[in-house]
Structure 1
Amino acid sequence: MPRVKKPAKVKEPIRLRMKELANGNKSLYLDIYRDGKRTYEYLKMYLIPETDNNARVRNQTTMAAANAIKSKRIIQLTNGEAGIETREKVFLLDWMETYKENQAKRGKKDGNQIQVTIRILKNYAGERVTMDQIDKAFCQEYIDYLLTEYRPKGKQVSNFTLHTYYRILNGALNAAVRAEIIKVNPFTKINNSDKIRLPESKRSYMTIEEVRALIAAPMKNEAVKQAYLFSCFCGLRISDIISLKWKDVFVDRGQYRLAVSMQKTKEPIYLPLSPEALKWMPERGEKTSEDHVFDLPSPTMINTLLKPWAKAAGIDKRFSFHTSRHTFA
């Protein structure tokens, strides 16, 4: 009697697997293998030790939910291969790469921060999360992941750094709304108290006595000294002082003013100059309207020159050109 062949077992393209955690729980994730490529989707769902009946019931509910997600992913995968997909899917990681490129085109210098955020998102949610799967729960759990699980090389990360990775994803989702990829940024549905907040910064500034000490102390570059003290009495940023030209200085009804377009905000302002500020402006001499008011080295060299000047004035607090703006404020 001929042997009846058993039907070949069809391998599922997506399998539900679990990973043992240090606290005894098991993290559930999907192992997705298609076209010779393996990816993982972590479900942020956990099985707990079955110490009692409640734990067993809870695990059964969790497994049922995880299997439902698995089935949904298999259907999505199959429909996509059959050409049944009704709308184009945009993967989160692909959109993050596009966002990084767009930021670079706009002249933004946050490419490295975006790249780190992409790595974090890959570890947090895997590679196959699509933009239509980004909801309030995803965003809240991303925040929780940053606060409780993200430990590069086992090191604690400051809130300033964590806030950056929250801000990057938030900005990318805002851009996705503008591009009509998603309808709303789910971060807007989360209470501010549940978001990552920056700790209050302690701004360093000079007291009147310290400004007097700086005036009295010798400085290797007189133009840098003048520029710093000028900023103390008018509040201009270093970038705006470096770009300041004599054509920007004018007199309006006896009042000296500056007409400048702020380098950071691009907003034009008409800034009145006090007698103290005017004291630290160099003489114009033979300079034309297109010449710079201050003949200054690079910003890096300026801050290098400031340190020995502060030391000569007996100042040991945090000191940079930006403290002049805080002093004015």
Structure 2
Amino acid sequence: MARVRKPTKIKEPVHLRMKALSDGSKSLYLDIYRDGKRTYEYLKMYIIPETDNNARKQNQVTMTAANAIKSKRIIELTNGEAGIETKEKVFLLDWMEIYKKNQEKHDKKDGNQIKVATRILKAYAGERTTLDQIDRKFCLDYIDYLYTEYRPKGKRLSNFTLRNYCRVLNSALNAAVRAKLIVANPLNELERSEKIRLPESKRSYMTIEEVRALIATPMKNEAVKSAYLFSCFCGLRVSDIVGLKWKDVFIDRGQYRLAVSMQKTKEPIYLPLSSEALKWMPERGDKTAEDHVFDLPSPSMMNILIKPWAKAAGIDKRFTFHTARHTFATMMLTLGADLYTTSKLLGHADVKMTQVYAKIINKKKDSAVNLVNGLFD
């Protein structure tokens, strides 16, 4: 009797592998071997320690998506030359969960927004919508749904909140493009008029007279007072002031400067410090280069502490730590600095972001010239 030959096992050109990380999680990557060459593709997906049932379910979702990418790469390698296009399906809700975990892995604090946005997407599109089904029409209909139908607790949310939920989807789709699960993000293709519009923001700021009043008014926490006034004279966000270290401060040809990578934009800037700003910087003393310049409580606590100080100074307008940054911008423009220079001092990526302050200054000019109205009737 003829012996039955076992089928030859076909070697796959792509293997899904894991790399153990120091925190106990595992990073997923593809080991690709083709034509005698080996390459690696790190997926930015992670298997977390299975401490509970939710973690096990999350790992199952992550592995499903990772295997989908692996299958897609195999198809691309074996059939790409022949012009065959077969897309592996990845469900939108699965990808949103993966995106949320990846954001947490990188210490991003938007987990709750992603959770709510995922819930909205489930109500809008159901559980079986795949990433490749998201096109321009999907995005326009989703925006229309947020405007007209989405009513948590029976109330329509502000455009600002709705825009945040759209931003979450936009970021998740950009991540899917980077993972090569989709070719392009259709939200990026929408016209500005088709996106959720925001009303022009009203930015509260202190006038020069009000800054003088704050300087003259004592505050129990002198470090917080100094940090706020320092921001008034350099424009740094609270997150950048909290993270500021002595190694970031240097002197360049007699000019004090800060070398700061801004927390929000990650944009590196070299910020010159005026003598007014230096007045509110603490003495270094015996602090090392790695020590923080300001010894401060949390940003939320600082916002609580500064309100009684502002009230004591006679200020009754909206007052948060961020008003110091607005104060710096309007003060620079009021004193004659040009828009482009002010934009660079603020670390704005686009001068358009600074134009809102120019509008504030123009309104002040209008009010000033109108002061003479009626005086000579």
- TM-score normalised to the size of structure 1? 0.69
1:112 alignment partner in structure 2: 112
Structure 2 residue 204 is matched with structure 1 residue 204: yes
Using a 3 Å threshold, how does the CA distance of structure 1 residues 90 and 212 change in structure 2: closer, same or farther? same
* Aligned residue type for 1:131: L
Partner in structure 2 of residue 247 of structure 1: 247
SS in 2 for 1:108: coil
> Relative to 1, partners in 2 of residues 1:92 and 1:231: Cα closer, same or farther, differing over 3 Å?
same
**CA–CA distance in structure 2, aligned partners of residues 291 and 96 of structure 1:** 38
Change (3 A) 1:208 1:132: same
Q: Which residue of 2 aligns with 1:261?
A: 261
CA distance in 2, matches of 1:176, 1:126: 19
Distance 1:127 1:314, change over 3 A: same
List per-residue Cα deviations over 1:95-140 (Å, max 9, x = no partner): 2212212222222221211111122122112211222222221111
- What displacement does 1:286 show? 4.2
Give 1:135's aligned residue. Answer: 135
Q: 1:296 maps to which residue?
A: 296
What does the per-residue CA deviation read over 1:286-305, in whole Å, with 9 as the maximum and x for residues that have no partner? 44444433232332322221
Task: Summarize the Cα distance change of 1:100–1:206 in structure 2 as closer, same or farther, 3 Å threshold.
Answer: same
Query: Which residues of 2 match residues 162-177 of structure 1 at below 5 A?
Result: 162-177=162-177
In structure 2, C-alpha distance between the alignment counterparts of 1:140 and 1:127, rounded to whole Å: 19
Q: Name the amino acid aligned to 2:284.
A: R
SS of the residue aligned with 1:124?
helix
Alignment of 1:197-236 (within 5 A): 197-236=197-236
Equivalent residue number for residue 124 of structure 2 = 124
Decide which moves more: 203-212 or 94-103.
94-103
User: What's the secondary structure of 2:318's corresponding residue?
Assistant: coil
How far, CA to CA, are the matches of 2:125 and 2:192 in structure 1?
23
Aligned to 1:311: 311
Whole-angstrom distance in 2 between the partners of 1:276 and 1:87:
60
Separation of aligned partners in 2, 1:103 and 1:293: 29
> What residue is the counterpart of 2:102 in the other structure?
102
2:207 partner amino acid: T
Deviation digits for residues 243-271 of structure 1 (CA, Å, limit 9, x no counterpart): 33333333222212223333333443322
SS at match of 1:206: coil
1: distance between equivalents of 2:226 and 2:303? 14
The Cα shift of 1:238 comes to 2.0
How many angstroms apart in 2 are the aligned matches of 1:230 and 1:323? Answer: 12
Counterpart residue identity of residue 245, structure 1 = K
Q: Could you say if the C-alpha distance between residues 232 and 118 of structure 1 is closer, same or farther in structure 2, counting changes exceeding 3 Å?
A: same
TM-score normalised by L of structure 2: 0.61
Secondary structure of the structure 2 residue equivalent to 1:251 = strand
Shift of 1:217: 1.0
Give the secondary-structure state (helix, strand or coil) at the position aligned to 1:157: coil
Q: Which has the higher contact order (CA 8 A, sep 6+)?
A: 1
Inter-CA distance 229–93: structure 2 relative to 1 (3 Å threshold):
same
Q: Which residue of 2 aligns with 1:270?
A: 270
User: Structure 2 CA distance, aligned partners of 1:210 and 1:183?
Assistant: 53
- Report the residue type matching 1:272 in the other structure: P
The offset of 1:157, in angstroms, is 1.0
| Cα separation, 1, equivalents of 2:261 and 2:190 | 37
Q: Secondary structure of 2:90's match?
A: coil
Please tell me whether Structure 1 or Structure 2 has the larger radius of gyration of its CA atoms. 1
Deviation, structure 1 residue 234: 1.0
Q: Which residue of 2 aligns with 1:193?
A: 193
Instruction: State which drifts further: 254-263 or 196-205.
Output: 254-263
Aligned to 1:57: none
Closer/same/farther in 2, CA of residues 118 and 207 from structure 1, 3 Å limit: same
What is the SS of the residue equivalent to 2:196?
coil
Amino acid at match of 2:111: G
The residue number in structure 2 matching 1:147 is: 147
Whole-angstrom distance in 2 between the partners of 1:189 and 1:288: 49
TM-fit CA distance, 1:324: 0.8
Cα distance between partner residues in 1 of 2:161 and 2:200: 14
Give the Cα separation in 2 of the matches to 1:98 and 1:287: 42
Name the CA shift for 1:180/1:291 in 2 (closer, same or farther; >3 Å): closer
Unaligned 5+ segments in structure 2 are 1-85, 330-377
Aligned residue in 2 for 1:50: none
Bigger mean CA deviation after superposition, 96-105 or 235-244 = 235-244
Deviation at 1:87, TM superposition (A): 4.5
